[in-house]
Amino acid sequence: MFACLVPESVTDLHSPGATPNSIDLQWSPPTGVYSSFQIEYVDEDGVARNTATVARTETDTTLTSLDAGKRYDVTMYIVSNSVRSGPTSGSFRTRKSENTTGYC
């Protein structure tokens, strides 16, 4: 019999930038063996938006097809042999759309 070890969590989850329709994310991975990162995010209205899987070799990604000017609550996990780490969470906001038509 063997026990599955729970992987360590990511640290320093932050957003270096955003557009009206996307949020850039960066993080620091832990040491150890794991297979991927899993990102879950939901908008400020509580509408489940998506789950993204990111390769273990990456330390950044961009969430796309988001709504302008909204806050998104992001939760990130490390996955190792189908076992998830504890969550690392943050709230990030897309930029407001700019009025480019010249009309109010």
Confidence class for position 32, pLDDT limits 50, 70, 90: confident
Question: Is it the case that residue 42 has pLDDT exceeding 90?
Answer: yes
Query: Global pTM?
Result: 0.86
Confidence of residue 100 (pLDDT cuts 50, 70, 90): low
Per-residue confidence band for 93, with pLDDT thresholds at 50, 70 and 90: very high
Domains of the chain, earliest start first: 11-93 (2.60.40.10)
- pLDDT of residue 13 exceeding 70: yes
**Strand runs (DSSP E) across the chain, as ranges?**
11-19, 22-28, 36-43, 48-55, 60-63, 71-80, 83-84, 88-93
80 touches 3 (CB < 8 A): no
Q: What does the DSSP 8-state code read for residue 69?
A: T
- How far apart CA 39 and CA 56 sit, in angstroms, is 12
What is the reported pLDDT for 33?
A: 86
C-alpha–C-alpha distance, residues 24 and 26, integer Å: 7
Token duo for residue 92: 């990030």
- In this predicted structure, the answer to whether residue 99 has a pLDDT above a threshold of 70 is no
